[in-house]
Amino acid sequence: MDYLSYCSKCPVLVHCCINPPKDGFVAVGIKDTEKIKKETGKPFHEFLDFSMLSDEMVKDCREDFEGSEGKLRASMFVDNRILRLKVKSNNECIFLDSEKKCSIYHLRPSICNMYPYWYKKEKKKAGETEEQIILIRHDKDPECAVSINNSPALNFPESEKSNLIKVAKKIEEESEYYKKHIKEFAEKNNLI
């Protein structure tokens, strides 16, 4: 299944980039933000938010199921803050244009590359050298064409699966880098 062709036909209100703040956010890694800044010329303060999350959002992330995006993000919190893309007053991502298309699609953060999927790690089995990454649905949105047209096993061409697994590994690597460097990055760029 070519999930990209499904995503390109997606109704404009289904995307994770149109989220009321109480329902989520687009977390970004330091490396993704540096790439966006370099390519767009925008200073960090124009597109990044490092303000405190609501108590409800923090609780939801911390109580999410093991292996979920929420749980990963909770592990990245610094004083209930996480680096994320700003949203406009209508709750749309700062980079969503008037046609509801991503204006930085070629630069989009890793989480956006992964969407509408997420992943879980399975422990090593005997003889394996690393944990297995299993792709899962990110959303349960009933209008998501990928969720509707995809089997529970998420069967699609190996090339697409391979690309998504690379993105998942990049997210893992970036989250480790983030945890080590976010305080310094936020202070250096006056985000706190």
What pLDDT does residue 52 have? 94
More confident residue, 180 or 24: 180
Q: How many domains does the chain have?
A: 1
Q: E-strand spans in the chain?
A: 48-49, 84-85, 117-122, 132-137
Map tokens 């890694």 to a residue.
29
Banded pLDDT at 1 (limits 50, 70, 90): very low
Nearest to 119 by CA among 133, 139, 130, 140: 133
Q: What is the pLDDT of residues 20-30, one digit of tens each?
A: 666 778 899 99
Banded pLDDT at 188 (limits 50, 70, 90): very high
Banded pLDDT at 150 (limits 50, 70, 90): very low
Strand partners, 78: 81
98-101 long-range contacts (CB < 8 A, ≥24 apart) are: 100/12, 100/15, 100/18
What pLDDT does residue 11 have? 57
C-beta of residue 9 within 8 angstroms of C-beta of residue 143:
no
Strand partners, 49: 84
Banded pLDDT at 3 (limits 50, 70, 90): low
Torsion of CA 118, 121, 122, 128, to 10 degrees: 120
SS3 151: coil
What's the domain range around 10? Answer: 3-188
pLDDT at 2 over 90: no
What pLDDT does residue 156 have? 63
Tell me what the mean pLDDT of segment 74-102 comes to: 91
Least confident of 49-63, 76-90, 113-127: 113-127
Backbone CA torsion sign across 79, 75, 169, 105: negative
User: Looking at the whole model, is its pTM more than 0.75?
Assistant: yes
Tokens of 60: 């939801």
Tokens of 19: 């989220």
Least confident of 9-13, 31-35, 132-136: 9-13
What pLDDT does residue 189 have? 96
* Distances from the Cα of 64 to the Cα of 68, 154, 167, 175, angstroms: 6, 22, 21, 17
